[in-house]
Structure 1
Amino acid sequence: MEHMLDRDIERVLFSQEELRCRVGEIAREIERDYQGKEPLLVSVLRGSFVFMADLVRSINLPCTVDFMAVSSYGAGTASSGQVKIVKDLSEHIEGKDVIVVEDILDSGNTLNYLLKILQARHPASIRLCTLLDKPSRRVKPVELHYSGFSIPDYFVVGYGLDFAERYRNLPYIGVLKPCVYEE
């Protein structure tokens, strides 16, 4: 079915089916690593909410969820390196096995900062799960435990990822036409 936002997409990078399969594979990895445990999955809003929903429904283990929102981008296309917590966790994480779920690992600025904050709250363990990894953009080191796809430096949208709050509802991940974000 045609989506009215399709016209702004240069090409589809990962189809709905490819995403579904890869999310299932990540869920199996998490199940293997957390046998006998009850991980707390922390979604970093807003970009990861679609991935998080599919991932948590694919994990065949008891698990809980919580949400955080951090701000670092504004309306631009590059991380400012300035990070602030807009919405903190609802629950304490001390002694819990935490999996931070992110849509994309880019510069590493936001996640490096966020992981330090969470580590200071004394979880039993903390791991990072990201749907997309853009290693060519990394400026801060971040240890990645679960990764969906490694991608080149494309500007991607869909499946929760946005540009200026649009395109999150596309069922696939696509490369945004440069004319859209260079205006």
Structure 2
Amino acid sequence: MQRIRGRDLRVLYDAPTIAKRNVELAEEIATAGYVDLLVVSILKGSFIFAADLIRALHTVGLAPEVEFLSLSSYRSGTESSGEVTVLRDIETDVAGRDVLLIDDILESGRTLAFARSLMLSRKAHRVGIAVLLEKPGKLSQPLKADHVGFSCPDYFVVGYGMDVAHAFRELPFVGVVEDE
């Protein structure tokens, strides 16, 4: 247990475990047959995972181009309406290209289903999905990630890019706030 910003956090996946898994994911992606690869990081939560995974992709011999897509779900209170909007779009034409979407977590699947559909509507040849964490049983969309770092218990997780009220993104591990 670590005390950070006055909160008790339990480490779920430590930095060495995440780093090892990123290399394994990169090797898996390298053998998946992507051609003319464009990596699209879904902001904000994936930025640290995407950076580490992209460097690992380089290490295993891939040289993808990189873009960033910022999406948002409209919310009323604490409930998501399920509507996803583009806050910041990519600049690259994806027609005929293989695209790999990178996100921090696959939970409901709304955001990733939207991003995948968007890339396919723009005539991407192939759209793969890589996530650091997947929460089995939480999907509200028929969606499957192609490359999964870890199967995550149903906890609200923070760190390694993921936040609670914009806090804890900087942590080098994925943790669970235990003092709630």
TM-score (norm 2): 0.90
The answer for the alignment partner of 2:98 in structure 1 is 97
Distance 2:39 2:76 in 1: 27
From the superposition, tell whether residues 168 and 50 of structure 1 become closer, same or farther in structure 2 (CA, over 3 Å). same
From the superposition, tell whether residues 165 and 67 of structure 1 become closer, same or farther in structure 2 (CA, over 3 Å). same
Write the letter of the residue equivalent to 2:87.
V
From the superposition, tell whether residues 119 and 73 of structure 1 become closer, same or farther in structure 2 (CA, over 3 Å). same
Distance 2:148 2:98 in 1: 18
Distance 1:137 1:24 in 2: 27
Q: Check conservation: 2:2, 2:10, Cα contact below 8 A.
A: no
SS of structure 1 residue aligned to 2:94: coil
In the TM superposition, residue 19 of structure 1 has moved relative to its aligned partner by 0.3
From the superposition, tell whether residues 94 and 132 of structure 1 become closer, same or farther in structure 2 (CA, over 3 Å). same
Where in structure 2 are there 5+ consecutive unaligned residues? none
User: Within 5 Å, which residues of 2 pair with 1:21-170?
Assistant: 21-34=20-33, 37-59=35-57, 60-72=61-73, 79-170=80-171
In the TM superposition, residue 118 of structure 1 has moved relative to its aligned partner by 1.3
Where in structure 1 are there 5+ consecutive unaligned residues? none
Distance 1:43 1:54 in 2: 11
SS of structure 1 residue aligned to 2:82: coil
Identity of aligned residues (%): 38
Q: Check conservation: 2:2, 2:8, Cα contact below 8 A.
A: no
TM-score (norm 1): 0.88
From the superposition, tell whether residues 6 and 77 of structure 1 become closer, same or farther in structure 2 (CA, over 3 Å). farther
In angstroms, what is the RMSD of aligned CA positions? Answer: 2.2
Deviations 1:88-133 (A, max 9, x none): 0111111111000000001111211221111100111111110000
SS of structure 2 residue aligned to 1:140: coil
Distance 1:41 1:25 in 2: 17
Between stretches 67-76 and 51-60, larger displacement belongs to: 67-76
Equivalenced residue count is: 177
Deviations 1:68-97 (A, max 9, x none): 000127697764412110000111111111
Write the letter of the residue equivalent to 1:70.
L
From the superposition, tell whether residues 73 and 57 of structure 1 become closer, same or farther in structure 2 (CA, over 3 Å). farther
In the TM superposition, residue 4 of structure 1 has moved relative to its aligned partner by 6.5
The answer for the alignment partner of 2:174 in structure 1 is 173
